[in-house]
Chains A and B, each alone.
Chain A
Amino acid sequence: MSELSRRDFLKLARNGFLYLSGALALGGLLRFLDFDPNPAPITEFDLGPASNYPLNSRTVLSEPPAVLLHTDKGFSALSLVCTHLGCTVKSDAQGFACPCHGSHFDANGNVLHGPAIKHLQTLRVELTDEDNLKLFTA
């Protein structure tokens, strides 16, 4: 094994520094570019196997706030985000009530009384080929 000369050692060290710093700088640059401080909100949610939601079930989801209905007509969903200012409505005897400002909705999401003036939003639900449910909020 030949001895590494001082010149070769310095050359190796220099090239090592150069490649390492270049690689780190490139990594840092990619990390910087990859970071999105202002990401678009998620609008697609995987709800898992449809078999988890039996016929005539009514499942309250936390993320996104919604209620998933499975009737003989299929799957449907209703957003639980109050159309007034965005608080999460709660189920009550009439349907849904907003704990923040008192809006009331019937069980189908129709406004019973304000301050909300729009009905709760109906959300799109799709059944994938793998029998999974996907919920779309936009």
Chain B
Amino acid sequence: MKKTLTLASGSLLLALVFSWWWTSRQPSPVELIPTLTGQPEYCLTCHADVPDISPSHPNNTFGCVSCHGGERLALNADLAHSTMRGGANPSDLSVAGISCGGSNCHSGSEADDRNHIQRVMTSVQSTYAGAIANIRFSFGAQPDLIPRFGTNAVTDEQTQTGITSLSAFKPLSESNPFIQKFGENCLTCHVNAVRGDGKANERQTGCAACHATAKHTLSTAIPYTQCNACHNRGNYDLRTMTFIERTDHPTNRLQDYYQPIAQFTKCEYTLDCVDCHTRDEAMGDGDLHANQKDIQYIQCKTCHGTPTELPLTKTIADPNDIVFRLAMLNPVLELKMGDTVLVTEKGEPLWNTRVVSDGTYEMIGKVTRQQFAFRPVMGSHCTQSGKDQSSAYCHECHSVER
């Protein structure tokens, strides 16, 4: 009995010494209590050097768990990461509603224009509805170009376009082998597609596909290279239903921006895409659309007007105008009450523009912060009809040689 007791006490002592030694090797917990949640989390124990992901999402306010999920009190990496949302990308559309959503965040009401996630889910960037309808129509699987399928099932009961829902496209359910191959090879660039291998697929999914401009960074100053990750990475070969990665090696912006066959004006390769194209164009306007053209409405005339009309403008008279919020997120231009900015035909303010007192306009690059001064077409020698304003008409005179 005494021998057993001695052995037991010795073993316990050894176990305690070992436990103390093991504990002393572990990092001391670093606690963060985000003001948003008021709940301690220990993620900074290992991730102490993680910078704020954006000025709008400081670590001290949001912490890590609000967006990433995970076990906030765990000090073991496997356990802490076991319940993270979306792996390293909580903005993947499969989880963005939880990670980025919420009535005060990005799935708020349509009334105050904070329904970003709903808009993205119904946008053509996500549904790819037009491409799917086009291919199915071309190969006889449907009698018209009306979209019936999206990459995921989605509904929009308050639609303004007449398209109330899309069913999930299932290529293997199609009888035509070309449509099957299209589904297999050509659906890799919508914002919730799993990225493929290779340089042509270097992008993330969900919100991060556009807004993650660097590691652990979210920004509305999105350079054209971010858009190029999908929009300028190669071509689809419709004969073989495969994606052909571009093989040229552009050495400057001029070559990098467009495929060799394309025409463009100087501003198209000087500006970044987001300098002109709006949130609704990129993220959707909340309605389901039949194709990209239905939601892409920025034209040369949006900024330059036509020979008979000046571009649309709006003078800021409300301190709650969304123009201030947009400008605050990327303060390239200090707008104030009484300033006049250009607006789209839908009334969206181009918040990086301003009408100058002499009747000309200025635009500040959202990424480059470069200042551009420009004049209206009205009063110039241009005789282009105001009705024919697609870029092809303007390219006739204004395209750049390369």
CA A114 to CA B2, docked complex, whole Å: 75
> Are B57's CB and A100's CB within 8 A?
yes
Q: Is B58 an interface residue (CB 8 A)?
A: yes
Interface string of A18-57 (1 = CB under 8 A from B): 1011101100100000000111010000000000000000
CB 8 Å contact bits of B1-31 with A (1 = contact, 0 = none): 0100110011011001001000000000100
Bitwise interface map of A from 88 to 104 toward B, beta carbon under 8 Å scored 1, else 0? 10000000000111101
Cβ–Cβ < 8 Å partners of A22 in chain B: 9
Contact yes or no, A41 B55, CB < 8 A = no
Whether the Cβ atoms of A17 and B10 lie closer than 8 Å is yes
Confirm or deny: A123 has a beta carbon within 8 angstroms of a beta carbon on chain B: no
Asked if B196 CB lies within 8 Å of chain A CBs, one says: no
Of B33, B39, B114, B319, which contacts A113 at CB under 8 A? B319
Q: How far is the CB of B394 from chain A (nearest CB, A)?
A: 36
B34 lies within 8 A of A24 (CB): no
Q: When the two chains form their complex, are residues B40 and A39 in contact, meaning their CB atoms are under 8 A apart?
A: yes
- The complex places the Cα of A88 from the Cα of B35 at a distance, in Å, of 9
- In the complex, A81 Cα to B34 Cα: how many Å? 11
Q: Which residues of B contact A25 (CB under 8 A)?
A: 12, 16
- Picked from A10, A18, A37, A100, the residue with its CB within 8 Å of the CB of B61 is A100
Answer whether A86 and B16 are a contact pair too, CB < 8 Å, given A17-B6, A37-B40, A102-B325.
Answer: no
Q: How near does chain B come to A124, taking the closest CB pair, in angstroms?
A: 18
Q: Which of A18, A81, A104 gathers most chain B CB within 10 Å?
A: A18
Binary A-proximity of B30-48 (CB < 8 A = 1, otherwise 0): 0001111011101000000
Residue contact A114 to B320, C-beta cutoff 8 Å? yes
By the criterion CB–CB under 8 Å, are B16 and A28 in contact? yes
Decide if A85 is an interface residue (CB 8 Å cutoff). Answer: yes
Q: Contacts A21-B12, A28-B16 given; indicate if A86 touches B2 (C-beta within 8 A).
A: no
Per the bound structure, the CA–CA distance linking A88 and B324 in Å amounts to: 19
| Chain A interface, number of residues (Cβ within 8 angstroms) | 31
Q: Looking at the complex, which one of B6, B36, B38, B324 makes contact with A102 (CB distance below 8 Å)?
A: B324
Whether B16 pairs with A21 at a CB distance below 8 angstroms is yes
A112 engages B319 (CB within 8 Å): yes
Instruction: Determine whether A107 belongs to the interface, using a CB cutoff of 8 Å to chain B.
Output: no
Assess whether A37 is in contact with B324, with CB atoms less than 8 Å apart. no
**Alpha-carbon distance A41/B32, docked complex (angstroms):** 11
> In whole Å, how far is B385's beta carbon from the nearest beta carbon of chain A?
42
A-contacting residues, B30-79, CB 8 Å: 33-36, 38-40, 42, 55-58, 60-62, 73
B34 touching A38, Cβ below 8 Å: no
The reply on B104 being an interface residue by CB < 8 A is: yes
Cβ-defined contact, B73 with A100, below 8 A:
no
| The one of A11, A28, A38, A88 that contacts B19, using a Cβ cutoff of 8 Å | A28
- Pair B56/A37 contact, Cβ less than 8 Å: no
Report B-chain residues with C-beta under 8 Å of the C-beta of A81. Answer: 35
Residue A84 at the chain B interface, CB threshold 8 Å: yes
CB nearest to A41 among chain B residues? B38
Residues of B within 8 A of A20 (CB): 9, 13
Interface assignment of A87: CB less than 8 Å from any CB of chain B: yes
Q: B13, B29, B73: which has the most chain A beta carbons within 10 Å?
A: B13
Cβ B19 vs Cβ A87 within 8 A: no
Q: A14-B2, A24-B16, A86-B35 are in contact. Are A102 and B104 (CB under 8 A)?
A: no
A100 touches B56 (CB 8 A): yes
CB distance from A32 to the nearest CB of B (A): 11
Q: Look across to chain A and name the residue whose beta carbon is closest to the beta carbon of B319.
A: A113
Nearest CB on A from B32, distance (A) = 12
Q: Is B197 an interface residue (CB 8 A)?
A: no
Q: How far is the CB of B316 from chain A (nearest CB, A)?
A: 13
Chain B residues within 8 Å of A41, by CB: 33, 38
CB pair B56 A38 closer than 8 Å: no
State whether the Cβ of B112 lies closer than 8 Å to any Cβ in chain A: yes
Find out whether the CB atom of B5 lies under 8 angstroms from the CB atom of A18. yes
Measured CB to CB, the nearest residue on chain B to A16 is B9
Q: A84-B104, A100-B57 are in contact. Are A113 and B320 (CB under 8 A)?
A: yes
- Say yes or no for B328: interface residue by CB 8 A criterion: yes
Extra pairs beyond A14-B2, A41-B38, A101-B56 (10, CB < 8 Å)? A17-B10, A17-B13, A20-B13, A24-B13, A84-B104, A85-B36, A87-B35, A88-B61, A102-B324, A113-B320
Interface pairs (15), CB distance under 8 Å: A17-B10, A18-B5, A21-B12, A38-B39, A38-B40, A39-B40, A85-B105, A87-B61, A88-B35, A88-B61, A100-B56, A100-B57, A100-B58, A112-B319, A115-B104
State the 8 A-B residue pairs at the shortest beta-carbon distance, nearest first: A86-B35, A21-B13, A17-B9, A14-B6, A21-B12, A18-B9, A86-B36, A102-B328
